[in-house]
Structure 1
Amino acid sequence: MKILGLFLLLLNLFSFSFSRKLLSFHDEAIVLLKLKSSFSDPNGVLSSWVVSDTSSNHCSWYGVSCNSDFRVVSLILRGCDDLEGSISRSLHLPDSSSCSSRRLGGVISPIVGDLSEIRVLSLAFNDLRGEIPKEILRLEKLEILDLQGNSFTGGIRVLNRADDDKSKLDPLKKSGFTSFFGNVRKLMSLDDEDEASPSSDDSSSSGKTGLYPIEIASIVSASVIVFVLLVLVLLFLYTRKWKRNSQIQVAEIKEIKVFVDIGIPLTYEIIVRATGYFSNSNCIGHGGFGSTYKADVSPNNVFAVKRLSVGRFQGDQQFHAEISALETVRHPNLVMLIGYHASETEMFLIYNYLSGGNLEDFIKERSKPALEWKVLHKIALDVARALAYLHEQCSPKVLHRDIKPSNILLDNNFNAYLSDFGLSKLLGTSQSHVTTGVAGTFGYVAPEYAMTCRVSEKADVYSYGIVILELISDKRALDPSFSSHENGFNIVSWAHMMLKQGKAKEVFTKGLWDTGPQDDLVEVLHLALKCTVDSLSIRPTMKQAVKLLKRIQPSRL
Structure 2
Amino acid sequence: MKRNLLALFLLLNLFAFSFSRKLFSENAFHDETVLLELKSSFSDPNGVLSSWDPNSSNHCSWFGVSCNFDSRVVSLILRGCDEPQGSLHLPDSSSCSSRLGGEISPVVGNLSEIRVLSLAFNDLGGQIPEEIWGLEKLEVLDLQGNTFTGESHGNRVLNQGLNRISKDLNPVDEKPKLWIQRFLANFGKSLKVSRFSSFSGNAVRGIELRKLMSFNEEEDGVTPNSDESPGKTGLYPIEIASIVSASVIVFVLLVLVVLFFYTRKWKRNSQIQVAETKEIKVFVDIGLPLTYESIVRATGYFSNSNCIGHGGFGSTYKAEVSPNNVLAVKRLSVGRFQGDQQFHAEISALEMVRHPNLVMLIGYHASETEMFLIYNYLSGGNLEDFIKERSKPALEWKILHKIALDVARALAYLHEHCSPKVLHRDIKPSNILLDNNFNAYLSDFGLSKLLGTSQSHVTTGVAGTFGYVAPEYAMTCRVSEKADVYSYGIVILELISDKRALDPSFSSHENGFNIVSWAHMMLSQGKAKEVFTKGLWETGPQDDLVEVLHLALKCTVDSLSIRPTMKQAVKLLKRIQPSRL
Quick check: TM above 0.5?
Answer: yes
What's 1:331 paired with?
355
CA 317–75 in structure 1, closer or farther in 2 if over 3 Å, else same = closer
Which one of the candidate residues 346, 350, 361 is aligned to 1:322? 346
Matches for 1:118-133 after TM superposition, within 5 Å: none
What's 1:407 paired with?
431
Higher helix share: 1
- Percent identical among aligned pairs is 76
Which one of the candidate residues 286, 295, 301 is aligned to 2:319? 295
SS in 2 for 1:252: coil
One-letter code aligned to 1:327:
E
How many Å apart are 1:245 and its aligned residue? Answer: 4.7
How many Å apart are 1:95 and its aligned residue? Answer: 8.9
One-letter code aligned to 1:294:
K
CA 320–270 in structure 1, closer or farther in 2 if over 3 Å, else same = same
One-letter code aligned to 2:363:
G
One-letter code aligned to 1:478:
L
What's 1:490 paired with?
514
Distance 1:46 1:426 in 2: 24
What's 2:384 paired with?
360
Matched-pair contact (CA < 8 Å) for 2:80–2:99: no
Distance 2:74 2:98 in 1: 7
What's 1:23 paired with?
none
SS in 2 for 1:293: strand
One-letter code aligned to 2:501:
A
Tell me, yes or no, if structure 1 residue 98 matches structure 2 residue 125: no
CA 89–479 in structure 1, closer or farther in 2 if over 3 Å, else same = farther
* TM-score, normalised relative to structure 2: 0.59
One-letter code aligned to 2:274:
Q
One-letter code aligned to 1:513:
W
Distance 1:99 1:403 in 2: 45
Matched-pair contact (CA < 8 Å) for 1:80–1:99: no
Matched-pair contact (CA < 8 Å) for 1:63–1:75: no
What's 1:313 paired with?
337
Distance 1:292 1:456 in 2: 28
What's 1:247 paired with?
274
What is the CA deviation profile of residues 453-477 of structure 1, one whole-angstrom value per residue up to 9, with x for unaligned ones?
0000000000000000111111111
Distance 1:344 1:301 in 2: 28
Distance 1:478 1:446 in 2: 14
Distance 1:370 1:364 in 2: 17
What's 2:559 paired with?
535
Distance 1:350 1:505 in 2: 42
CA 267–123 in structure 1, closer or farther in 2 if over 3 Å, else same = same
How many Å apart are 1:322 and its aligned residue? Answer: 1.0
Q: Unpaired runs of 5+ in structure 1?
A: 1-34, 51-60, 67-73, 109-121, 127-148, 152-217
SS in 1 for 2:100: helix
Matched-pair contact (CA < 8 Å) for 2:383–2:430: yes
Matched-pair contact (CA < 8 Å) for 2:313–2:456: no
What is the CA deviation profile of residues 36-56 of structure 1, one whole-angstrom value per residue up to 9, with x for unaligned ones?
9x9788768479888xxxxxx
* TM-score, normalised relative to structure 1: 0.62
How many Å apart are 1:97 and its aligned residue? Answer: 4.8
How many Å apart are 1:314 and its aligned residue? Answer: 6.8
Distance 2:289 2:81 in 1: 20
Distance 1:410 1:47 in 2: 32
SS in 2 for 1:409: strand
CA 318–512 in structure 1, closer or farther in 2 if over 3 Å, else same = same
Tell me, yes or no, if structure 1 residue 548 matches structure 2 residue 548: no
What's 2:444 paired with?
420
What's 1:472 paired with?
496
State the aligned residue count: 400
How many Å apart are 1:555 and its aligned residue? Answer: 0.1
How many Å apart are 1:313 and its aligned residue? Answer: 3.4
Matched-pair contact (CA < 8 Å) for 2:496–2:533: yes
What's 2:44 paired with?
none
Matched-pair contact (CA < 8 Å) for 1:88–1:96: no
SS in 1 for 2:317: strand
How many Å apart are 1:435 and its aligned residue? Answer: 3.8
One-letter code aligned to 1:515:
T
Distance 1:372 1:102 in 2: 58
What is the CA deviation profile of residues 12-71 of structure 1, one whole-angstrom value per residue up to 9, with x for unaligned ones?
xxxxxxxxxxxxxxxxxxxxxxx99x9788768479888xxxxxxxxxx344899xxxxx
Q: Unpaired runs of 5+ in structure 2?
A: 1-31, 41-46, 62-67, 86-90, 118-128, 132-243
